[in-house]
Amino acid sequence: MRVVSGIQPTGNLHLGNYLGAIRNWVRMQDEMEDGSQCLFFLADLHAISMPHDPAELKAATLEMTAALVACGIDPAKSVLFNHAQVPAHAELQWLLGGTARMGWLNRMTQFKDKSGKNREGASIALFSYPVLQAADVLLYQATHVPVGDDQKQHLELARDIAQKFNNDFCTEDAPVFTLPEPYIPPQAARIMSLRDGSAKMSKSDPSEMSRINLSDDADTIMKKVKKAKSDADVLPSEAGGLEGRAEALNLVTIYAAVTGESVDAVLGQYGGEGFGKFKPALGEILVETLSPISARFRELKEDRESLDAILARGAAKARELGSDTLARTYAALGL
């Protein structure tokens, strides 16, 4: 099994990013059996498809790297790198550009969503980045690609491109590309704002109290949990009893996600109690889980030399893993 997955580099990482995305990668890595491997990359080449600030992109790439390592991605077990240091991604994208059809890309709903009404003003990169995504996984002969609902269409496209390329340019017994299968990641938690149970916890929320940052220290975490919006009722003994109580549900969901228990199991323990008792308990398990992560994250974030070394090592490994497929692609095309 070879799993390849990318994430957009973003800064100001928070509990939602951890429980909703990063932790899944750590789980995937830890589930790999001997002979299987995960490649994780920061999709910094994707980031230029939308208006962006170069200094912010660089900072976000480094911050995300620090967060991934602090959260448990082990650069010795998994290949961790950023796109921009592995030119084969951009090369293969161009080479696959002869195979991908305009009509296929025209059907991509994400381009329609992201370009909005200003289709003519969208970048070429925004239009063609599903081809880069195909290159990202085909380059490494990925057998499995983790996909959420919004990415299913792009994986299908990667399979279509691989199949057409193999068909058009390869003999049946020597296809260049492996058709990757979807890997359905464990159900990720969706974490809401601590100030508003109807809004996602997000770095773009102007209120610092709305989110727990991966860099928060123990006191800050305890304070934010204590001030989190809740209600005056006691907790019910089953999840159904939280209907219409979005803030309460969110706090219990966070507790469950952090401990790995079900919401019902948490309520089995705290049903009948009010938030005066539940919040300190939640604060404590958050501190317990996040303290080692945030300490490591804060330290690594400032250690540019280590981050550069991690990414350089990962990129070297990725270049090596992709070189054979890239060479065979050139050859198949008569280049």
In the annotated binding site, the residues are 8-10, 16-17, 136, 148-150, 191, 200-204
Q: Could you say which of 58, 114, 223, 226 is catalytic?
A: 114
Report the candidate in 195, 197, 222, 198 with the shortest Cα–Cα distance to residue 211. 195
Residue nearest to ligand ADP (CB): 20
Q: How many residues does the chain have?
A: 335
- Does residue 6 belong to the site contacting ligand ADP (CB under 6 A)? no
Q: Could you say which of 164, 200, 223, 226 is catalytic?
A: 200
Burial 27-60 (b: 16+ CB within 10 A, else e): ebbeeeeeeebbbbbbbbbbbebeeeeeeebeeb
Segment contacting ligand ADP (CB under 6 A): 16-24, 71-79, 119-127, 254-262? 16-24
Q: Could you say which of 58, 203, 223, 226 is catalytic?
A: 203
* Active-site annotation holds for 226: no
Choose which of 3, 21, 161, 332 interacts with ligand ADP (CB under 6 A): 21
Segment contacting ligand ADP (CB under 6 A): 200-208, 225-233, 305-313, 315-323? 200-208
- Does residue 28 belong to the site contacting ligand ADP (CB under 6 A)? no
User: Total binding residues for ligand ADP by CB under 6 A?
Assistant: 12
- Cα angle value 147/152/155 (rounded, 5°): 85
- Does residue 20 belong to the site contacting ligand ADP (CB under 6 A)? yes
- Distance, in Å, from the CA atom of 194 to the CA atom of 201, rounded to the nearest integer, reads 7
* Active-site annotation holds for 77: no
Which contacts qualify for 208-212: CB closer than 8 Å, 24 or more apart? 211/14, 211/15, 211/16, 212/14, 212/15, 212/286, 212/290
Sign of CA dihedral 8, 13, 16, 21: positive
Choose which of 17, 65, 99, 250 interacts with ligand ADP (CB under 6 A): 17
* Active-site annotation holds for 114: yes
How far, CA to CA in Å, does 256 sit from each of 62, 136, 289?
30, 34, 12
Catalytic residue set: 114, 200, 203
Binding site for ligand ADP (CB under 6 A): 10, 16-17, 20-21, 190-191, 200-204
